[in-house]
A = this chain, B = another copy of it.
Amino acid sequence: MNKNDLRILKTKQNIHLALTKLLKKKALPHIKVTELCREANINRGTFYFHYQEVGDVFKEYYEEVVMDLKESYNEPYRHTVILDPKNLNPKTVRIFHHIKKYEEFYRIILSKEVPLEFYLMLFDEIRSILMEDKHAVLPKEIKDYLYSYSANAIIGLIIEWYRRDFQESADEMNVLLVNILRLKV
């Protein structure tokens, strides 16, 4: 199975286009394989040759999106220590900008019908971003919990942001995060 085979590239592109089209009409779990293939003008057998279920197609997208999140952290003005309010500069936090950029995408990720898997992918990604920060020397176990605590706390803000229909700007979210951290609750 040659990943660069033109036939495969075309097929996958058709499926991707069909999925984005269908996602505007209905939630991911309600999109049927049959429906997706009809929309993409490909045979159902071809679908099953590449994927197991509709969610797998979405996962391919998601990997691109996560790539963007990763890349946004490999730039010159790289952040230093995110979750230390003493050092935190709102501009250093890129996560909210990333979410805003892919807002339509995260509306799907955060909708209740969708498998937790996508949420956990976001969690792991944010967690690993936080792990790159230098933290005070702490026992490994505490650190593991601390990263999970902090990563999910940020997603907590994102959930609230989503529920408020992403009204606030990404910069406002960064200021909000700083304020919450300053509360030291």
Task: Please report the total number of A residues contacting B with Cβ < 8 Å.
Answer: 42
Please, which residues of chain B bring their CB within 8 A of the CB of A136?
Answer: 183
Pairs across A and B, CB under 8 Å, 14 listed: A113-B117, A115-B116, A116-B118, A123-B156, A123-B159, A142-B176, A144-B164, A145-B176, A148-B159, A149-B160, A149-B180, A150-B153, A152-B153, A153-B153
The yes or no answer to A18 lying at the interface (CB within 8 A) is: no
Q: Number of copies of this chain in the oligomer?
A: 2
The yes or no answer to A151 lying at the interface (CB within 8 A) is: yes
Please, which residues of chain B bring their CB within 8 A of the CB of A144?
Answer: 160, 164
Please, which residues of chain B bring their CB within 8 A of the CB of A176?
Answer: 142, 145
* In the complex, per-residue mask of A163-178: 1 if CB is within 8 Å of any chain B CB, else 0: 0100000000000100
Please, which residues of chain B bring their CB within 8 A of the CB of A116?
Answer: 110-116, 118-119
Report the minimal beta-carbon distance from A180 to chain B, rounded to whole angstroms: 6
- CB contact under 8 A between A113 and B112, given known A148-B160, A152-B155, A153-B150: no
Cβ 8 A contact of A145, one of B110, B155, B157: B157
